[in-house]
Structure 1
Amino acid sequence: MIQRLTLVAQFILVFLFILFEEIIWEGLAEPIYQKIQSLQILQKLQLLINKSNRYIVLSIFISLLLSVEGAGLIAGLFFVQGKIILGGLLYMVKIPIAGFTFWLFSVSKAKLLSFDWFAWAYDKLMSVIDLLKSTDIYKSSISIMINLKDKIKSIKQKYFSKESSFIVEFKSFYKYIKNFKNRKNS
């Protein structure tokens, strides 16, 4: 019984982790994070952060992190209540803030990890992530996800690339209909 509960808990954690990592992070948050990272104004902000007291940096980081996580929880509550649009909007609004928070962590990591309790919590979090990634459920799920991505990519290339026969025929049909309509109106 305990083994089944452990397996179910592992599956749920792995599913949520993969959902976050593969879909939300790679699809939405990472491009936003990269855009944030490329902004000129953030280079000046990074210099200011490097000069700032570690307690100030910690306060700003924790405030942003709590607001992002709180927004995620509230969005989840909206989803559960059936308020899908409101939950989706709140979740979409939180993504740029999460990207900025991730950027802040990356540029101030040394200052944040100078707090023993923060370093301990960070190490524990990384250990849990490593533990999840070492499970058979995670490895098989990632394998399935990679195969699925490859199949989707091949379908997109076959049917939706600019040179594909499907697109060429579709454009030709569109031109035919457009010309037919124009001839009929003349």
Structure 2
Amino acid sequence: MYKRIINLFLILLVFIYLIFEELIWEKFAKPIINLISSLHIFTKYIPKIQALNSYFILIFFLTIFVIVELIGVYAGVLFVSGHIFSAIFIYILKIPVAAFIFWFFNIVKPKLLEFKWFEFIYNHLLSIIYRINHYSIYIMIKDKSFNITKSLKENFFSAKRGLKYKIVHIYKLLKLKIKK
């Protein structure tokens, strides 16, 4: 019984992680970071940013990072309290700022890693992410979600039938895929 509860909890955590990694990071934040990186107006500021004092960089990074995380927590509180559309709206507003802070981090990472405590936390976090990505539950859920997404794309967007047929077919397909 205890092991089953832990497995259900791990599945829930992995599912949430997958949603954030695949949906929010890959579909929204990463393209924004790529856009920021490709804009030539920002490239001229990179040497100036890298020349800033390490403590200033640390304070600026941590301030923006904490604000972004607090916005995410606030969106979560709104979601749990039943204000789903407000939560989604606030979370969407957070994505460009989070993308900016990731871009900023990539530029100033060597200076931030000069702080031993920051380096320790950063390496520990990378270790946790690596372990999560190699858990059998993570791999199983990722494979299932990939197969479901692939099946939905193939069946929903390629069929030339009516909407009612497509919805019923997707329901049956999801039901079948989840039972596997």
Provide TM-score, normalisation by structure 2.
0.82
Q: SS at 1:108's partner residue?
A: helix
* Counterparts of 2:47 and 2:129, CA distance in 1: 31
> What residue in structure 2 maps to residue 39 of structure 1?
39
Aligned to 1:52: 52
Partner of 1:24: 24
How has the CA–CA distance of structure 1 residues 135 and 111 changed in structure 2, closer, same or farther, with 3 Å as cutoff? Answer: same
Distance 1:39 1:58, change over 3 A: same
Structure 2 match to 1:104: 104
Q: Deviations over 1:134-162 (max 9, x none)?
A: 11100111111221222233236524xxx
Post-superposition offset of 1:4: 3.4
| Aligned equivalent of 1:12 | 12
What do you get for the CA RMSD once the two structures are aligned?
A: 1.8
Mark the structure with the bigger radius of gyration: 1
How far, CA to CA, are the matches of 1:156 and 1:7 in structure 2? Answer: 32
Q: Which residue of 1 aligns with 2:80?
A: 80
Structure 1 portions without partners, runs of 5+: 160-165, 168-186
Show CA shifts across 1:105-163 (max 9, x none): 1111111111100110011111111111111100111111221222233236524xxxx
Equivalent residues in 2 for 1:117-136 (5 A)?
Answer: 117-136=117-136
Taking the TM superposition and a 5 Å limit, the aligned residue runs for 1:147-166 are 147-155=147-155, 158-159=158-159, 166=160
* Paired-residue identity, %: 35
User: How far off is 1:92 after superposition?
Assistant: 0.9
Kept in 2, the 8 Å contact 1:29–1:95? The answer is yes
The aligned residue for residue 64 of structure 2 is 64
**Contact persistence 1:10–1:132 (CA under 8 A):** no
Question: Residue type matched to 1:144 in 2?
Answer: K
Instruction: Give SS of 1:52's match.
Output: coil
Counterpart of 1:177? none
Decide whether aligned partners of structure 1 residues 140 and 74 sit closer, same or farther in structure 2, where only a CA change above 3 A counts.
same
Q: Which residue of 2 aligns with 1:143?
A: 143
Could you tell me the TM-score, scaled by structure 1's length?
Answer: 0.79
Amino acid corresponding to residue 28 of structure 1 in structure 2: F
For residues 49-69 of structure 1, what are the alpha-carbon distances to aligned partners after superposition, in whole Å with 9 as ceiling and x for unaligned? 111111111111111110110
Q: CA deviation at 1:3?
A: 3.0
> How far, CA to CA, are the matches of 2:138 and 2:96 in structure 1?
28
Aligned residues: 161
Aligned 8 A contact 1:11 1:137 in 2: yes
CA–CA distance in structure 2, aligned partners of residues 124 and 8 of structure 1: 25
| 2: CA distance, partners of 1:5 / 1:127 | 25
Amino acid paired to 1:96: P
For 2:45 and 2:155, locate their aligned partners in 1 and report how far apart those are by CA, in whole Å: 44
